[in-house]
Structure formats: C-alpha cells, structure tokens
Amino acid sequence: MAPSNPLANWERLGDSFYRKVLIYDAIFDEDIELENYIIAGAPYGGAIALHRDESKPYRFREAQTTKSSIDIYSCSGKLINRLNWEFGTIRGLGWSDREELLVITEDGTVRRYYGLHGDFTSFSLGNGAAEYGVRGCRFWTSGFVALLSNNQLVAVSNYEEPRPRLLAPCPEGEVSSWSLIPPAYTLSRSVEVLLAVDKTVYLVDPTEAEDKILQNGPFKHVSVSPTGRFVALITAEGKVWVVSSDFQSKYSEYDPESRVTPRSVDWCGNDAVVIAWEDEVHLIGPNGVAARYYYDGTVHVVPEFDGVRLITNDACEFLHKVTDVTEAIFRLGSTSPASVLLDSVDLLEKKSPKADENIQRIRPSLPEAVDTCVKAAGQEFDPHWQKRLLKAASFGKSVLDLYNSDDFVEMTEKLRVLKAVRDYQIGLPISYEQYMRLTPERLIERLVNRHEYLLAIRISEYLELAADRIYVHWASQKVKVATGDDDAVCKLIVQRLDGKPGISFELIAQTAFDEGRVHLATQLLNHEPRAGKQVPLLLNMEEDEIALDKAIESGDIDLVNYVLLQLKTKLPLASFFRTINNRPMASALVETNARSQDKELLKDLFYQDDRPIDGSNVLLSEALEETDLPRKTEKLHLASRLLADSKDPSAVLQQKLVSEASQLLKVQEALDKDLADRSEFLGLSLNETIFRLIRSGYGKRAQKLQSEFKMPEKTFWWLRLRALVAKRDWGELEDIGKIKKSPIGWEPFYNEILGAGNTKLASVFVPKCTNLPADEKVEMWVKCGMIAKAGEEAFRAKNMNALELLQARASGPAAAEIDRMIKQLRPKK
C-alpha cells in the first residue's frame, strides 16, 4: 500500500492546521439509515450506541426489524452487542469514560450497562422525574444531568453510589437548548448547567440560578468547550458565537449562511467549533474563519477532548488540530531541524552524502529534532509514517554521543499497543493523547469488555501490568457460557489460572452463583486464598456456618459482626445460639453488642448456655437502670431467684449479696421515710448509710444496721470515728475514749482527731496507744503542741537525744521542765 501523503486533508484555519484522518471505512450496512438514529459514542474511541429515533418515520419493513433495540458497535462497525429495548421512550443515551452505557427513560429510570454485554444496574432519578418526565440529558465523564419538563435539573455525579440531586430551581420558560460544565472545570467543584431560556442564558449550580442577561436568544445551541473555558452559542439569527464561559467577553462570530439550524454544535479540541447539519460540517476556528466539509450521507459527530470523530455509513474519521510537532515536520517548506532530520533518512537510504551534510547542519539542535520526531510519531495514525519518524529519530540519536532513549523506547511501546487496538477487528481508534489520558489499565479493561482476552493479556504482559482481572473476567465468562458439568468447568478454570497471582476466585464464584450454579460456586470458592473475601458470597449461598468460620479466621471483627447481624435476622433464635455456641469469639461479640442493644437476647443466651451468674448480672444491671423502687426490687428478686438453685460457691455468695442489696434498699426506704423527708439514704452503700446515720446523730439505728448486716466490728469503729469527727462530736469521742479496748487501736482516733484540728482531744488518746514505741509517742505529743508531755515520754524511755531536740523547741514552763529532766537523766559525773 502506498503511503498516504502526510499532508493529505490538512486544512488551514487561521494560524493553525486541522486534519481529518480516515481511520476506518465501510462502517455500516447501507440499510442502516443513520439519519434515523440517535447516536452516542463513548469517549476515547469507544463503542457507539445506536438507537432508532422514534420520532422519525419508519420505512415499511418486516415486523422483526421494527423491534426496538440499542445496538452497540465498535468504531469500525463491528456489532458488539444488541440490547433489546422495551422499557419506554429513551430521553438520554450517553457513556461514561469507563465505557458504561447510560440509558435514561422518560420516567426517570436510569439503566447503567457495564461491560458492553447487557449486564446493568438501574436506579431512579426521583425528585419528581416520574411525574414531570425527563426531557433530555447531558453527560460528562462520570455523571450526567437530566432536564425535567418542569425545568428542574437533576444531577448524578457518581454511578457507583448514585445520588440524584436537584440543582437550584430555574426560571419558567421554554428551554431552547442547554449544556453543562463538568465539575472538574467549575469554581464550585459541582456540575453547573447552562440553560438557554427565552432570550437569555442561565447558569445553574446547586445553590442558585444566575441570569447572564443576554439579548440574542433564543439560543438554539449551547456547547461548552472541553476545558469549560469557552461557550459556543447559536443565536436566534443562526450565527455562531464563541464567548467566555462567564459570558463577559465574546471572542468570535461566524455566519454559516444557512437558514437551517445545525443539528449539532461540538467543540473540536479547545480552539475550534464543529457545527453539523445532515450532510455538511463546518469547522470554525478563532476569529470566524471556517472550513467546510460535505458528505454524501448523514454524518454524526462524536466529540472527544482532542478532536471529533465523524461517523458516516462509509467512514469513521478523526478531525483534530495538527500539533506543533507534526506541523514543524510536515508543513510545506518546513526547515525545522526535525524536518531536515526526516529528509536525511530518505537521503541516507539513497546513500546520498547529503545525509551527513544535513545532519552536520542541524547538529546543534539535533537532540530537539530527535525529540520532535519521537513525539510526532505518536501523532500519526499511519504505521508507515510512524516508522519513518522513528527511524529518523533513531538515526538522529545514533549520531549523538549522549541521548536518553527512554522516551524513544516508550514511544515504540505505546505505538505497538496503539497499532494493536486500532486494528479494525478491535476497532478502538484511540489517539495518542487519548491513550495517555485513558491509561493502559483502562484500555485493557475495554479490551476485556470486548472479550479480547488474548490481546489484553499480551498487552498487559508487554507493559508488565497486572493481568489478574483479565483472567478473572475470562473465567467468569467461561462460567457463564460453559455447559459442561461443574467439576469439569472448575477443573478447567483452576488449571488455566494455576500459578497466576492475585486471582480473585471469589469473583468467579460469585458469577457462578449468580448463574445458579451453586455447586460450582462452592468449589471455586475453595480456591480463594483470602478468607475475608469469601464471606459475603458464602452468606448469599446460605453457607452460614462456613461464612462465620471464614470471617472468624480472617480476624476481621467487622466481617464477623456482619455475618452475625445477618444470621440473627435470618435464623430462629435457638439455632442462632447453637451456631455461635462453640465459637467463643462469636459469642463474645454477640454478648457485647447485645449488652447495649438487646438485653432480652442476652438473657436468653445465658439461659440457653446455663450461665446463671451472667444471667443474674443482666438483671442486676437492669435493676440499676430502673428508677422506680418497686421495680428495682423486683429485678433484684429475679436476679436472686436465678441463682437460687446453683451450688457453685461464687453463685451462692452472689445470691447472698444480691438479697443483701434488696434488704438494704428496704431499710433505706424506711430510713428516708422516718428521718428525712426526701430521698437521702436510698442508693447509698451500707457504709455510707451508717456513716450518715452517725453523723446525723442516729447512733442507735446505726448500731442496729451493723448487727443486721453483720458488719465487722473494726469497720464499724472506723465509720463511727470518721462520722463523729465529721460531726465534730468531741464529747461522744471522749466518751468512747473511756472504753478500755478499741478493735482498731487508738492511734486512728489520735490521727483523725488531730487531722480535724482538735489537739486537746487528740492528746487524750496518746497515752492509750500503749503498743507504740516511745519516740513515736514523743512525736505525737509534739504534734499536739504538748512539749512537756513529750518530754515526760522521752524521759520515761530515757531517750536523751529526743529530749535535747525537744529542748530546742520548748519555751516557757515547758522549757524549764525539759531542762529539769535532762539534768535528771544526764549521768552524774
């Protein structure tokens, strides 16, 4: 095949050139009348969806062909899939950049077809879409906006978890045309809509609708440039305006000299607008310069961010701006170094000495020339010119001493990939820029969606990318179509995927399960190495116990809780308990959750498990929560009864304590009635009750309680001591001091009373502390401020040192006394 002229189909538009590249020919059968179809093309050279426009008259045919459908073709015209359509009038047909087809019907139902083969999810727009009906939809890469017939706008910005959301209400009036600015290019970071109503245009975002106050409406078309900076409008007089997206400045105006309103207005890159009628296309550049193309049949325009695809029955063409690098090389009369470099290759092949001469001439700028050639190779669709340019680059860098060849190598890699997917049998006419933006992973995803597994695997191996998804997709597909018996299918799949890392058998098993092949699903699931992944599917498959075990094995509490939640709603209580019974972690979690959520469940659980103490504890804590005394006592009673039959010593003790608690409550209730007119004692502990009684002077009652509850003598003494000190009842304390023996000794009396500041009374107890060493007693006297007494103590103990220390601290009569003692004690010389 003769190489095409690289300059073919160049069109000058102002300062720059545009070119139209023929990518595929003979796309559609002649009997598909494109003028009668709505067409939507997926971005990045993706698939094309065709739907018969129901408003157009039908030519009489046999019945079967009139059946409504959405046909998905590749760009080369290969029918990928046909979706039968019987769900009502389609008001929106568009694609996401993951090549998911969105179909929105008049009643606001959205169907999202993923994977090109008819799998879909659906959701409803809500927000009154059903009542008012959808008029139309506009799409961006990851969402769309629907216009309802009451001029309300509903935006969906995420398909994974769709959340239809109303934009600000907009004014009444006839909407003549509209368009949207994707969230990535707006200040509000939310989608904004341009709505041409009557003579003006409104900018609608989630919070307000702003009138841009224009006079030249009604505008028949509104179209926003790919980066959201410019807007193309068709005015009432049929002129094309290009204005900034804030409507502050107008950049150009063009008169297409046609009375007929164009069918579509799209942007070709960021600098040119394409308007199309049935068979005529105008390309309008800056300052109103234009190029015109004429066709024999209907032409459809599919916009891309770097150009437009033009689809006719005969051809798929790509119209785009000629990049600077390409222009520098191929432009007529170009003398750029890169251009010279390309020429030199020709000369070299002709063995002309001029080749070297040329190289020497451009030597200083040779590295840039090589770079330019490499870049330009990416822009070409024709392998011939790709090769020429790469050859030139290769020749150029062979002359250079030092050159980083990474770009060159990468470009060859990319071009190989591009060549493979652009093949008409695959039909992905993706440009270099689009490939860069789409990323190799997503390209492979598209291949997988087309079931081109071999190519996908080859490419991912070539690019060293993960191939596990391809295998999984393949296996899932295998599961769907295979008719053999389950064991054979499983064996086949496992054999093929053996040794491939990262394979998610869980996904394959899920497919098998969805296909109703439960046995196969179970078998496949056994090959899943990640326990956690298996759980949801196992639950679906009603393999409850295995699901629970796998969840526990994974150690992930969330999974275990999730399984338990499902099981609890699904199973009868008895079998639920049976399931968790021999799984300690599961029962611990059930217990913990039930404690805050479902006390009855807890009681049942403990009853079933025969754990009386735990059971009574639940009742006990319920008693604590009750505010009403009779009900408190009732709960306590129940708690105690639960333990009645148990012989376990700790249960026996607990039962005693629980009954003691209700006994105490009864006593306290009586005390409140007798002694206080408000609730003062109720709920106190026994010790506090006694303490308060004594402090309030009810010593007798306190004593009665002590014996009633068998409180140890020592404790009671302590309580009485502290309470009396708190009451400052010194008389009573002194009386107690007259008793011979105290079970807690007398030192506490001394300490507590001293702590309360009564040194005089404290001192009374010093001599009673008979078992303390003398020097401690000395210190005690001192603390009471009784130096003389301290002296006596020291004297009795014959402690000279202490006496001497005291001497220093003493004054007045005490000092004399001490002196006397020292003298007396001092050994006579």
Site for other proteins in 496-515 (CB under 8 A): 500-502
Q: Site for other proteins (CB under 8 A): which residue of 364, 529, 767, 785?
A: 529
Within 13 A of 54's CA, how many CA atoms are on the CB side?
11
Nearer to other proteins, 342 or 719 (CB): 719
Q: Are strands 10-13 and 272-276 parallel, antiparallel or unpaired?
A: unpaired
Query: Cα 116 vs. chain centroid, distance in angstroms?
Result: 26
Of 272 and 559, CB closest to other proteins: 559
The site for other proteins, by CB under 8 A, has a size of 74
CA gap 376, 379 in Å, rounded: 5
The yes or no reply on residue 188 touching other proteins (CB under 8 A) is yes
Query: What is the footprint of other proteins within residues 637-696 (CB under 8 A)?
Result: 649-650, 653-654, 657-658, 660-661, 664-665, 679, 682-687, 691
Please state the φ and ψ torsions of residue 247, each to the nearest 5 degrees: 60, 25
- Asked whether the beta carbons of 656 and 648 are under 8 A apart, the reply is no
Is residue 236 a contact residue for other proteins (CB under 8 A)?
A: no
3-state secondary structure of 202: strand
In what side-by-side order are the strands of the sheet with 209-211? 175-181, 192-197, 200-204, 209-211
Q: Which of the residues 160 through 179 are near other proteins (CB under 8 A)? A: 161, 163
**Shortest gap between Cβ of 681 and other proteins (angstroms)?**
10
How many other CB atoms sit within 10 Å of the CB of residue 222? Answer: 21
Secondary structure (3-state) at 276: strand
Judged by CB under 8 A, does residue 825 bind other proteins? no
* Residues in region 450-469 near other proteins by CB under 8 A: 464-468
Chosen residue from 36, 150, 334, 715 binding other proteins by CB under 8 A: 715
Site membership for other proteins, residue 209 (CB under 8 A): no
Q: Quick check: 494 binds other proteins (CB under 8 A)?
A: no
Min separation Cβ 168 and other proteins, Å: 11
Interacting residue with other proteins among 141, 477, 621, 807 (CB under 8 A): 621
What angle, 0 to 180 degrees and rounded to 10, lies between the N-to-C axes of helices 354-362 and 366-379?
A: 100
Residue 744 binds other proteins (CB under 8 A): yes
What is the C-alpha to C-alpha distance for residues 268 and 246, in angstroms, rounded to an integer? 20
The rounded Cα 571 to chain-centroid distance in angstroms is 31
* Residue 557 near other proteins by CB under 8 A: yes
Binding flag, residue 719, other proteins (CB under 8 A): yes
Supply the minimum distance, in Å, between the C-beta of residue 603 and other proteins. Answer: 15
Position 709 contacts other proteins (CB under 8 A): yes
Least distance CB 557 / other proteins (angstroms):
4
What sections of 423-517 are H helices per DSSP? Answer: 432-438, 440-449, 453-462, 468-481, 486-497, 505-514
Binding mask 334-373 for other proteins (x = CB under 8 A): ----------------------------------------
As given in the structure block, the two tokens for residue 283 are 């390309």
Cβ proximity to other proteins, 291 vs 457, nearer residue: 457
Give me the amino acid identity at 449.
N
Site string for other proteins, 565-604 (x = CB under 8 A): x------------------xx--xx-xxx--xx-------
CB of 593 to other proteins, least distance (A): 6
Residue type, 828: K
CB-CB contact of 257 with 291 (8 Å): no
Q: Considering beta carbons, is residue 53 or 558 the nearer one to other proteins? A: 558
Rule CB under 8 A: is residue 631 a binding residue for other proteins?
no
Note whether 477 binds other proteins by CB under 8 A.
Answer: no
Confirm or reject binding of residue 141 to other proteins (CB under 8 A).
Answer: no
Whether the Cβ atoms of residue 426 and residue 419 lie closer than 8 Å to each other: no
What's the alpha-carbon Rg for the chain, to the nearest Å?
A: 46
| Residues listed for the chain | 829
Footprint (CB under 8 A) of other proteins, residues 756-795 = none
Chain centre distance of CA 391: 48
